[in-house]
Structure 1
Amino acid sequence: MPIPSHLIEALERADASWRPVLAAGLQAMHAATPAYFETLTDFLPTEQRLFAAFAQPMDRVRYVLIGEGPYPRAESATGVCFMDGAVKGLWSEEEGGGLSKAVNKATSLRNFMKMLLVADGRLAPDDTGTLALARIAAQSRGVPGVVQSLGEIQQKFFDAGFLLLNATLVFRETVAPAKDAKAWMPFLQTVLAALNEQQPTLVLWGKIAEQLNKLEEAQALPQIAAEHPYNLSFITNSNMHALFKPMGLLRC
């Protein structure tokens, strides 16, 4: 069967430099699992955001960050790894509040924020609770030079050359992420092959993303691996501190 029209239309959200590569990736998926697209009718992200991460032009990619899969909520799943569409402000507006309620609901994002704060020396590794975060929020909320929204962090990622992907680009309530990730592997293989000459650093979060190491295209790239951010241990991961501290993602 041809690639379904709703997937072809979603390619319009990608930068023009990516569209031939992504189309080839879809064809590779179809060749590997011919019946897969027939089942792909009800999934997240919605609103043609499936390839939104590829708004980053190919020649600007310096890092490829690969997580697990989209958030399991329609508002949250944006097509960009880790960027929760339900999150606007980062800091709580409530007296004594730390991170905003929306950040706290997104466990991975909450732990990522804590990791950045530990890396910056603003949060002690053994004291990342509500009281410590309330102090930081009071020092950060509305302060010039301090990032206030998740959109600002996403732009910082973009400016640093990140391509923010997931091992599976879709979430379906009836299918385990690991199973969908297997179907999307030929697609990611095509993406990584297209980036081979510029040698971006591959940042792998979690066991599903680490399955990409089976691919020669992944093995050919420099890599940094970590547990998925929904694990508390991610907060004190020294490899993540070394990677993200120089980027100053919480400063604007």
Structure 2
Amino acid sequence: MIHSSWEPVLKKAYRALSPDYRAFLEKKEGYFPVDFLAAFGSLSRANTKAILFGQDPYPRRESAIGYAFIDGAVEGLFSPSGFSKPVNRATSLRNFLKMQLLAQGLLSPDNLSQSAISNVDKQGLIGTMETLRQNFEHEGILLLNTALIFTCKEETSLHVKMFKPFMQALLSELSGDNKELILFGNLAKEVEKLLPTSHGYTLIKTLHPYNIGFIHDAKVQAYFAPKRLLEKR
């Protein structure tokens, strides 16, 4: 279910999709996540301060749960040796967490090792992926992808293209809300081309977290440090 505050704008955005693509989506088969509007269910429009745009859902059913960057297959973030095994296997997530630990002053720039992470005092830190999602939303960050569904790797560009009218209508409707757009990676930056000529968005463009340079990017750290996404609320 979507939050009632999003219903008018999402109806307009959904109608912007091609009839054939809407018919495909309404079959609710052949793609995942089926609940591709999940991000609009737990954060209201009024409480949304920023939209974080990724590329498309994780290419695994258990991981793709309708929120950009949130891996449904990951439960715990930490282990006695540092990050948990699922986090270490997820390069983008691992780099994002390292950046956040660094930004919060919990790691030294010259030592981001598993051993250093294991020595971080975690008493005041969150421990699960679900709590990280909740903290994003506590900071008013809506987690959205440029394509809301996944079928196969070869069709990623197709779904990004098919969702462009949806995103264009959505961003047009929200252009007067003075929200921030956090754009991860080159594909997400294509979002800028969908914006109205005159808009009230603030654009935060970054490397994709898959790149190791993301961890040490001073602008990224300056933006995320005050949000303290790894702290218990």
Identity of aligned residues (%): 38
SS at match of 1:122: coil
Task: Note closer, same or farther for the CA distance 1:42–1:250 as it changes in structure 2 (3 Å cut).
Answer: same
Aligned-pair CA distance for 1:177: 2.2
- The residue that corresponds to 1:9 in the other structure is none
1:28 is the counterpart of 2:22: no
Task: Note closer, same or farther for the CA distance 1:23–1:119 as it changes in structure 2 (3 Å cut).
Answer: same
> Could you tell me the TM-score, scaled by structure 2's length?
0.90
- Alpha-carbon distance in 2 for matches of 1:177, 1:101: 27
Aligned-pair CA distance for 1:175: 3.4
Query: Tell me, which stretches of 5 or more residues in structure 2 are unaligned?
Result: none
Aligned-pair CA distance for 1:80: 0.6
Aligned-pair CA distance for 1:58: 0.9
> Could you tell me the TM-score, scaled by structure 1's length?
0.84
- The residue that corresponds to 2:142 in the other structure is 163
Aligned-pair CA distance for 1:101: 1.2
SS at match of 1:18: helix
- The residue that corresponds to 2:162 in the other structure is 183
- The residue that corresponds to 2:216 in the other structure is 236
- Alpha-carbon distance in 2 for matches of 1:166, 1:235: 21
Task: Note closer, same or farther for the CA distance 1:127–1:89 as it changes in structure 2 (3 Å cut).
Answer: same
- The residue that corresponds to 1:102 in the other structure is 86
Match of 2:38 among 37, 46, 52: 52
SS at match of 2:78: coil
Q: Report if aligned partners of 1:212, 1:218 keep a CA contact under 8 Å in 2.
A: no
Q: Report if aligned partners of 1:213, 1:219 keep a CA contact under 8 Å in 2.
A: no
Q: How many residues align?
A: 227
**Structure number with higher helix proportion:** 1
Equivalent AA in structure 1 for residue 70 of structure 2: M
- Alpha-carbon distance in 2 for matches of 1:73, 1:102: 13
Task: Kindly report the root-mean-square deviation, in angstroms, between the aligned alpha carbons of the 2 structures.
Answer: 1.8
Equivalent AA in structure 2 for residue 42 of structure 1: G
Match of 1:247 among 204, 227, 231: 227
Task: Note closer, same or farther for the CA distance 1:219–1:108 as it changes in structure 2 (3 Å cut).
Answer: farther
- The residue that corresponds to 1:225 in the other structure is 205
- Alpha-carbon distance in 2 for matches of 1:184, 1:70: 13
Task: Note closer, same or farther for the CA distance 1:19–1:218 as it changes in structure 2 (3 Å cut).
Answer: farther
